[in-house]
Structure 1
Amino acid sequence: MSAETNALDEEFGDTINSLFEDADSVLFVNPAPDVFRTVMTSAAAFDNELPTLRVLATPDVLKSSVDDFILASRISDLVDRGRLELRTTTDIARSSLLISDDQIISVITLDDKLTGLRSTDDDLVENVRSTFDDDWESGEEFNLRTPPLTRVQETLREELGNEVEEDFMMVFESVDRIPGEDDELDEVAISLLVGANNEVLLYDISKWGEDTGVASKATFSRTKTRLEDRGLIETEKVPIDVGRPRLRLVLVPDDLEDIDSLADQVTA
């Protein structure tokens, strides 16, 4: 039996990547929100073949984490690829653990930085994994409603054009988080702003949003009105052969190059 227990000195993200490199499967138990975000972000950015990930967390942790569209869409990608499963339980009273076939990492916070304690004791790893495998089997499946980021990108290109998709990703990659409806600069506001930058029809982008699962047409309409009230977008009537005229979105600022300034205006 080989055993090793030590503090991990390297950056926590490097620790996670090293674990992913060596493991076929990883069980992630009771993550704190910041630990969950770090591990999921590392998984989404992992370049090599990702091990199968299983997450067993409290419902509150998963619900609060997926309020952020950036994180949720990347998690949804992992689920869509068959690399991640999420389950919930309320019966966890332990620290955050990452458990692979041959090691355990207990995640802790020291001086406001994530680090961990690693053990490769064969008997300990086997006993801990067996215990939490049982907990996993009794957990409840967590349904993630956010669409995968790859689907968002593909459908934007196909339905609204490359320029809209490129603008969306420019904003997406310029911010750390995109919170939910209660905050001003959410995924719907960003979609409308990049749509206005490319003068697309409100009907087209709201239909795309509803079909893709980003948000309902009603949410797009409410957000459009809010952005109009802020003086960020305008609409122009476009006559059609039958029925009421459609509305074309127009961005009041010249373009989307100054992302920070635009974000400040939206959230002011």
Structure 2
Amino acid sequence: MSSNLLGTSVDAVLTAVLDDEPDVLFVVNPPGEAIEQIVESAKAFEGDLPTIRLLGEERLLKDVMGDFIVASNTADLVEDGTLELRVLEDSTRSAVLATEDRTVALLEAGGLVGGLTTDDAEFTETAYEATTEDWDSAEEFNLRTPGITRVRQTLEDEIDPEVEDDFDSVLASMETARGDGDGLDEVTISLLVAAKNRVLLYDVSKWGEDVGIASKATFSRTKTKLEDMGLIDTEKVPIDVGRPRLRLKLSDNRLEDAPPDELASVAQSVLS
């Protein structure tokens, strides 16, 4: 059985496999960074994508999907039926890409990820059948994050196109959106952008809950936290019936003067 090196990056390996136009591509036990790169490459691929079935260790999947940028792009692929996620019970399995005609082992060395591939008919058939059995017995991974396309569209439709543009610019300027002490999460980003555009707290929190980003209560708690930190403020807006609503606004001149693509970095510098 012969084998060949199929590229020295996840993108190169995945693209080479996708160029064969398989109907189904299994991705088994990839490392976290590889999951991110597979999602990125699949989103950027210009041809027709197969059904991608990713089997990953649950704790790893939860950690990777803790980044809103990765999770929302993953959700895009899930929502359009391209990507399916299930939980791999055996975390000792080798990282493999498997189609009916090719088996590719992902190998890491010196910061590079290579794909060692074989198209031996007997081996690939056995590997594909075994992977299919593992898939059939695996439980679905519950990805709760909404797809980024739906987030953008509803933000534009329900809040304002300028708010959507600012939200997109902020995300594009960030490497991660985790909110774990090293960055800003999606709720904080939404509130900062809303405050920059003087949106009502009720409107942005209702949008956020409806689209699946977080509950109204989470938006309210985060708003209070950002107020206590001196990043945003509110002003009361009377309404015909009921209690006045709160309009969000930025309370730090550095944030007010920052363009959208610098809002996240300026906010982080204010918080540090």
Give the TM-score taking structure 1 as reference length. Answer: 0.93
- The residue number in structure 2 matching 1:241 is 240
Distance 2:229 2:6 in 1: 49
Instruction: Render the CA deviation track for 1:150-173: whole Å, top value 9, x for unaligned.
Output: 110110001111001000110111
Query: Percent identical across equivalent pairs?
Result: 47
* Structural RMSD (CA): 1.7
Pick from 237, 261, 267 the counterpart of residue 265 of structure 2.
Answer: 261
- For 1:259 and 1:13, the matched residues in 2 are separated by 30
Q: For structure 1, list consecutive stretches of 5 or more residues without a partner in the other structure.
A: none
Equivalence map 1:1-268=2 (5 Å) = 4-22=2-20, 23-180=22-179, 185-252=184-251, 253-257=255-259, 258-259=262-263, 261-265=265-269, 267-268=271-272
Q: Pick closer, same or farther for the CA change 1:90–1:11 going to 2, 3 Å.
A: closer
| 2: CA distance, partners of 1:266 / 1:176 | 18
C-alpha change, 1:231 and 1:118, in structure 2 (3 Å) is same
Structure-2 separation of matches of 1:254 and 1:58: 43
**Take 2:225 and 2:269, find their aligned partners in 1: how far apart are those partners?**
12
Alpha-carbon distance in 2 for matches of 1:92, 1:165: 40
- 1:51, CA displacement in angstroms? 1.0
Distance 2:137 2:10 in 1: 30
Secondary structure, in 3 states, of the residue corresponding to 1:147?
coil
1:190-242 CA distance string (max 9 Å, x none) = 00011011110000000100111100111111111121122221111111111
Change (3 A) 1:45 1:9: closer
Using the alignment, how far apart are the partners of 1:34 and 1:230 within structure 2?
33
Opposite residue 254 of structure 1, the aligned amino acid is E
Moved more, 40-49 or 68-77: 40-49
Q: Tell me the secondary structure at the aligned position of residue 254 of structure 1.
A: helix
User: Which has the larger displacement, 171-180 or 8-17?
Assistant: 8-17
Per-residue CA deviation, residues 81-103 of structure 1 (Å, 9 max, x unaligned), is: 01111111313422110011211
2:184 and 2:264 in contact (8 A); partners too: no
Query: Using a 3 Å threshold, how does the CA distance of structure 1 residues 210 and 9 change in structure 2: closer, same or farther?
Result: closer
AA of the residue aligned to 2:145: T
Structure 1 residues 262 and 135: alpha-carbon distance in aligned structure 2, compared to 1, 3 A threshold:
same
Residue 120 of structure 1 deviates from its aligned partner by 1.4
The 8 Å contact of residues 6 and 16 in structure 2, kept in 1 or not, is answered as: no
